């Protein structure tokens, strides 16, 4: 399991390459929930999501021989964008494999950052198979989107920032997809504040980690289109890290409907003046829907990303 030292080392490694994002009090959500609610504005990160933390932590630990080979990954969009940026910064070529479900705005931004793009199949699992084929067949260095120690430790640095800014935090609401963010943040928070609750949030369609936790082992699920597109995809039947960490560290997992996620996007824009994608709004959605049982404050909910197609955003906020 990734521990506090791994995360602290990652923080030192990447601190000159990422932003320490703000933590702000939401008066509107605090009034609604009757406890202090703080927003971790991670969507202000350089590439528009938390993924840059793990991407830089992985790239910066590669040997020169690995850098010379170039990197490859599978992505639902944000990891690919972050890895492309980090690789370009470090002079490394990148190939990003994605499925047809990834929104075009995310694909085009990855191309703009100079990465080679491969569109394969209709699921994250299809994209992962292509990334693994390129790694084994063409010698590219595989940098997974979540199930990797460097990725988990990098994402965990967000948890360090939460505790530094709000040492008495009682509840952390965190996005749950493949588990890199959730497991890293939970490891950091629980190490420094063991009594804090860390609750994973995901959509109610194709929630692979939730289905796997319910089954007691990694399982495959069908992937669906969602406003929270970056939470889609499987966790891998051969999952080595994130399943066990989420099993041990998460206090609960909450599912949100598309209607609830849309309400979160609307609230973020109308009340917080923030543009966030569906996954980024899912903590707000859970609070608005009163789905967090026995809510104890102070609460931190992470706004994890802003990379939403703006035409889609306009339609959502217009109702």
Give the chain's residues under pLDDT 70. Answer: none
* Catalytic status, residue 63: no
What are the contacts of 103-107 at 24+ separation with CB within 8 A?
103/77, 103/229, 103/308, 103/309, 103/312, 104/309, 105/307, 105/308, 105/309, 105/310, 106/76, 106/77, 106/78, 106/80, 106/81, 106/307, 107/77
**Whole-number pLDDT of residue 86:** 97
Known active-site residue 51: yes
pLDDT value of residue 233? 87
pLDDT at 18: 97
At 203 the pLDDT is 97
Domains in the chain with CATH codes: 4-49+155-317 (3.40.50.1100), 52-142 (3.40.50.1100)
At residue 112, the pLDDT reads 94
- The catalytic residue among 26, 49, 51, 190 is 51
């Amino acid at each position: 399991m990734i521990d506090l030292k791994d995360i602290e080392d990652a923080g030192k490694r990447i601190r000159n390459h990422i932003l320490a994002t703000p933590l702000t009090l939401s008066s509107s959500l605090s009034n609604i929930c009757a406890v202090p609610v703080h927003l971790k504005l991670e969507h202000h990160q350089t590439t528009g999501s938390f993924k840059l933390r793990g991407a830089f932590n992985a790239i910066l630990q590669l040997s020169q021989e690995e850098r010379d080979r170039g990197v490859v990954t599978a992505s639902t969009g944000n990891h690919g964008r972050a890895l492309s940026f980090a690789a370009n910064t470090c002079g490394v070529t990148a190939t990003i494999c994605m499925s047809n479900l990834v929104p075009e705005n995310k694909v085009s931004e990855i191309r703009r950052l100079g990465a080679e793009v491969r569109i394969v199949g209709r699921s994250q699992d299809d994209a992962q198979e292509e990334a693994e084929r390129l790694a084994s067949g063409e010698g590219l260095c595989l940098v997974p989107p979540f199930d990797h120690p460097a990725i988990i430790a990098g994402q965990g640095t967000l948890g360090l920032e939460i505790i530094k800014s709000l040492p008495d935090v009682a509840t952390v609401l965190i996005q749950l997809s493949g588990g890199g963010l959730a497991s890293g943040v939970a490891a950091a928070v629980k190490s420094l504040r063991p009594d804090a609750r860390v609750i994973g949030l995901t959509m109610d369609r194709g929630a692979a980690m939730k289905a796997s936790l319910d089954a007691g082992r990694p399982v495959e699920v069908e992937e669906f289109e969602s406003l929270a597109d970056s939470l889609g995809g499987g966790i891998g039947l051969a999952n080595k890290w994130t399943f066990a960490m989420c099993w041990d560290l998460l206090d609960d997992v909450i599912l949100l409907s598309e209607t609830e996620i849309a309400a979160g996007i609307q609230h973020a824009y109308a009340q917080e003046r923030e543009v966030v994608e569906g996954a980024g709004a899912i903590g707000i959605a859970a609070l608005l829907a009163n789905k967090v049982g026995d809510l104890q404050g102070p609460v931190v909910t992470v706004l994890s990303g802003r990379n939403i197609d703006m035409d889609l955003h306009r339609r959502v906020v217009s109702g």
